[in-house]
Every structure is written in structure tokens, then in C-alpha cells.
């Protein structure tokens, strides 16, 4: 298969505005010994992409400066040491950058087999959320069957996946979201209880819903919700912070954290080592991919945009009007 010499992709300039996003071409990326080259069919659009465009979440050293952290597609080239994958394999992959382009590089150990039961658009919505939710809620947070989890801001792509995975593994799921409609969406996905986080009686409502307390908080809010979480968590509870929608700073009641022996952790995915991501991928392949194959776990796609309409996708996410995932379609371009 003869590959083109250039790769068409979205670029943006230092102003970081949506208007600065345009289609351009650059030389074709070349995989190293451990990497594969994927002909991208679809790419997920995520909050970190917007943060990168705005200049507050730079690409790690050595990563493609092109936006996009998850793709689905077909392997068209591979490095000398790639043994687990073959040319022609259909995969979805976590990438450190490059998703908003027709060709993207991925580490062989960060690729997941694309289940036969789904299409490229659904597959592109999997990697970023699966790696983040599994790595944080299950590995760091240690969520177990029979426990109660509270998921803040659950109507987006991450929250949707957290709901479905938590339910699939036997947890009782309580969520917050930003409107009655978004709460309804979360309950349709399987949440046992859902509350509008604008409600002035949110704390008492959550306490009524979980009178025994919360085992694990999957926190995409932080800010003023940190102390709310500490109040709701039971003894030896765990709080895992993965996003900061209510602010990066909090005035924390540390004594409550001590008195309840609460473990508070968190992470960002992109800067983690190849080995750490590979370990998450191994668990996803054995624990989660079979659920997707069986039709028990399918991400909810809010809207699909053509690659050249990536600015519209960013605008939609910035306004917060979406539920579920936003995806770019790269099948309709050359």
C-alpha cells in the first residue's frame, strides 16, 4: 500500500481562538520501532483538546502538536518491534496527539482491538474515556461491586462511561449534572439517582439518596465541591479528582479528611508513562472490551462533525450543550 507523502489535519495558531482552526497539510508522520501508523476514520473531541488550543494544556515532549487524543481506524504501517498488531488491523487507540488528522501515530500497547459490534465513530469515542475512567475509578479509586459511587458532572463523555462501567461492575451510581434534561439522560444510561448540581439543597438531597454515605467520588468538579465530597464520603472513603470544572483551588476541611481516613487522589492521563498506559490497556482488553463486544457498554454519541468542521465541535463543547461524546468523521475526505 503506497501512502501519501503528506497528512491533512487541523491546525490552530497562537491566539488559541476557535476561528484560528483551519485545515492544512504537513509531512506524513513515521512510526518508531514501538509504534503503528493509523489511517484515521474517526477521532474523539475532548476537553483537553480545547485546553491545548487555548494554550493551557501543552502537548508533552515528543508528542504530535496536532490536536486529538483518541482515534479509530486501520493500521497502515508499523515499526520493527511491533509484534502484537498487523497491517490492516482495525483498532481504536489512545494517542498523545495527532487525532485531528488523516494519519496518526500510536504506541502499539495503547491500541485496543476494535470490537466487531461497533462502527468507527463509536470506537473513536472509547479510548480517552475508557483509559481515564478505568485508570481512576477502578485502579486509583478501587471501586468494587456493591459500593456506592458519586459522579459529578456526569452528562459528558467521561461521566457517561463512568456511569456505564460502574453499573456493569455492580456499583450503586448517584450522579450530578447541570440540568433536569441532563439528569434524565444520566438516568437513562443507568444512574440510580441524578441531581441538578445547581439545586441549593444539593447536599441534603445527596445525603437522602445515600444515607450510609458514599464509598467513592469520581470528581470532575473540584473547587467548592471538595468539601461537599468530604462531607458525603463514609469512613475510609476515596475521592478521585480528574477535572476542575469548578476551579483548581479549594479551601479544604483537612480535619474531616483525617477524621474519616479519606484517600484523595487524582491524575491526568496524557503525561503518564507509556508503561502506565499499557497497564491500563491490558486491563481494558480483559475486563471491558468483552462488555463492548456483548453490547453491554456503548458510548452515547451526541454529534458527529466532518474534520473541517472541528471548530463547530469545539464551540459545542465550550458551550456545554452536549450530552455524551462529540466525534470527528474522517471517512468523507481524501
Tens-digit pLDDT string for the chain (334 aa): 789 999 999 999 999 999 999 999 999 999 999 999 999 999 999 999 999 999 999 998 889 999 999 999 999 999 999 999 999 999 999 999 999 999 999 999 999 999 999 999 999 999 999 999 999 999 999 999 999 999 999 999 999 999 999 999 999 999 999 999 999 999 999 999 999 999 999 999 999 999 999 999 999 999 999 999 999 999 999 999 999 999 999 999 999 999 999 999 999 999 899 999 999 999 999 999 999 999 989 989 999 999 999 999 999 999 988 898 999 999 975 4
Query: In terms of domains, do 155 and 120 share one?
Result: no
Residue pair 124/43 in contact (Cβ under 8 Å)? The answer is yes
Query: In terms of domains, do 284 and 193 share one?
Result: no
Query: In terms of domains, do 139 and 255 share one?
Result: yes
What pLDDT was estimated at residue 321? 84
Residue pair 217/152 in contact (Cβ under 8 Å)? The answer is yes
Determine the length of the chain: 334
Query: In terms of domains, do 259 and 221 share one?
Result: yes
Alpha carbons 160 and 157: distance in angstroms, whole number: 5
The answer to whether position 67 is within a domain reads yes
Please state, as a whole number, how many other Cβ atoms lie within 10 Å of the Cβ of residue 322. Answer: 19
Query: In terms of domains, do 140 and 255 share one?
Result: yes
The answer to whether position 334 is within a domain reads no
Query: In terms of domains, do 179 and 275 share one?
Result: no
User: Cα–Cα distances in Å, from 106 out to 85, 274, 305, 327?
Assistant: 12, 11, 23, 18
Query: In terms of domains, do 163 and 37 share one?
Result: no
Query: In terms of domains, do 114 and 151 share one?
Result: no
Alpha carbons 175 and 155: distance in angstroms, whole number: 9
Q: Write down which residue in 219, 249, 266 finishes a domain.
A: 266
Alpha carbons 59 and 248: distance in angstroms, whole number: 20
Alpha carbons 212 and 64: distance in angstroms, whole number: 47
The answer to whether position 312 is within a domain reads yes
Please state, as a whole number, how many other Cβ atoms lie within 10 Å of the Cβ of residue 294. Answer: 11
Largest distance between two CA atoms of the chain: 64
Q: Write the pLDDT tens digit of every residue in 257-295.
A: 999 999 999 999 998 999 999 999 999 999 999 999 999
Residue pair 324/301 in contact (Cβ under 8 Å)? The answer is yes
What pLDDT was estimated at residue 332? 78
Query: In terms of domains, do 260 and 293 share one?
Result: no
What pLDDT was estimated at residue 333? 59
The answer to whether position 121 is within a domain reads yes
What pLDDT was estimated at residue 159? 95
Instruction: Report how many domains make up the chain.
Output: 2
Q: Is 97 exposed, middle or buried (0-12, 13-18, 19+ CB in 10 A)?
A: buried
The answer to whether position 310 is within a domain reads yes
279: CATH: 3.90.180.10
Alpha carbons 59 and 259: distance in angstroms, whole number: 39
The answer to whether position 242 is within a domain reads yes
What pLDDT was estimated at residue 100? 98
CA-wise closest residue to 215 among 135, 138, 144, 148: 148
Q: Write the pLDDT tens digit of every residue in 22-81.
A: 999 999 999 999 999 999 999 999 999 999 999 999 998 889 999 999 999 999 999 999
Query: In terms of domains, do 113 and 12 share one?
Result: yes
Query: In terms of domains, do 189 and 242 share one?
Result: yes
- Give residue 113's domain range: 6-126+270-329
Phi, then psi, of 156 in degrees rounded to 5: -85, -175
The answer to whether position 1 is within a domain reads no
Q: Write down which residue in 249, 266, 283 finishes a domain.
A: 266
CA-wise closest residue to 133 among 151, 158, 115: 158
254's CB contacts (< 8 A; 6+ apart) are: none
**Which of 126-155 are b and which e, b meaning 16 or more Cβ less than 10 Å from the residue's Cβ?**
bbbbbbbbbbbbbbbbebeeebbbbbbbbb
Q: Write down which residue in 213, 233, 266 finishes a domain.
A: 266
The answer to whether position 177 is within a domain reads yes
Query: In terms of domains, do 151 and 59 share one?
Result: no
Alpha carbons 253 and 200: distance in angstroms, whole number: 20
**Which of 57-87 are b and which e, b meaning 16 or more Cβ less than 10 Å from the residue's Cβ?**
bebeeebbebbbbbbbbbbbbbbeebeebee
Amino acid at each position: 500500500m503506497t501512502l501519501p507523502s503528506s497528512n491533512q489535519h487541523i491546525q490552530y495558531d497562537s491566539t488559541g481562538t476557535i476561528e484560528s482552526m483551519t485545515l492544512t497539510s504537513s509531512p506524513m508522520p513515521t512510526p518508531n520501532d514501538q509504534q503503528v501508523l493509523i489511517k484515521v476514520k474517526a477521532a474523539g473531541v475532548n476537553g483537553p483538546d480545547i485546553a491545548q488550543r487555548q494554550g493551557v494544556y501543552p502537548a508533552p515532549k515528543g508528542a504530535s502538536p496536532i490536536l486529538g487524543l483518541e482515534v479509530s481506524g486501520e493500521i497502515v504501517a508499523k515499526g520493527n518491534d511491533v509484534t502484537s498488531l498487523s497491517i490492516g488491523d482495525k483498532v481504536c487507540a489512545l494517542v498523545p496527539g495527532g487525532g485531528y488528522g488523516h494519519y496518526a501515530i500510536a504506541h502499539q500497547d495503547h491500541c485496543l482491538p476494535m470490537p466487531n459490534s461497533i462502527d468507527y465513530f463509536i470506537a473513536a469515542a472509547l479510548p480517552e474515556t475508557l483509559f481515564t475512567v478505568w485508570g481512576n475509578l477502578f485502579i486509583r479509586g478501587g471501586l468494587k461491586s456493591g459500593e456506592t459511587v458519586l459522579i459529578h458532572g456526569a452528562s459528558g463523555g467521561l461521566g457517561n462511561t463512568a456511569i456505564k462501567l460502574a453499573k456493569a461492575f455492580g456499583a450503586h451510581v448517584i450522579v450530578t449534572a447541570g440540568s433536569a434534561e441532563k439528569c434524565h439522560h444520566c438516568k437513562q444510561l443507568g444512574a440510580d439517582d441524578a441531581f441538578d448540581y445547581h439545586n441549593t439543597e444539593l447536599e441534603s438531597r445527596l445525603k437522602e439518596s445515600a444515607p450510609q454515605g458514599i464509598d467513592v467520588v469520581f470528581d470532575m468538579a473540584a473547587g467548592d465541591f471538595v468539601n461537599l465530597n468530604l462531607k458525603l464520603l463514609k469512613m475510609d472513603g476515596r475521592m478521585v479528582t480528574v477535572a476542575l470544572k469548578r476551579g483548581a483551588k479549594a479551601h479544604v476541611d483537612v480535619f474531616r479528611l483525617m477524621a474519616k481516613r479519606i484517600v484523595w487522589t487524582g491524575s491526568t492521563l496524557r503525561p503518564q508513562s507509556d508503561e502506565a498506559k499499557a497497564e491500563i490497556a491490558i486491563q481494558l482488553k480483559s475486563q471491558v472490551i468483552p462488555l463492548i463486544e456483548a453490547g453491554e457498554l456503548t458510548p452515547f454519541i451526541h454529534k458527529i462533525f466532518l474534520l473541517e468542521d472541528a471548530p463547530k465541535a469545539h464551540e459545542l463543547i465550550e458551550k456545554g450543550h452536549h450530552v455524551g461524546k462529540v466525534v470527528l468523521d474522517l471517512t468523507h475526505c481524501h
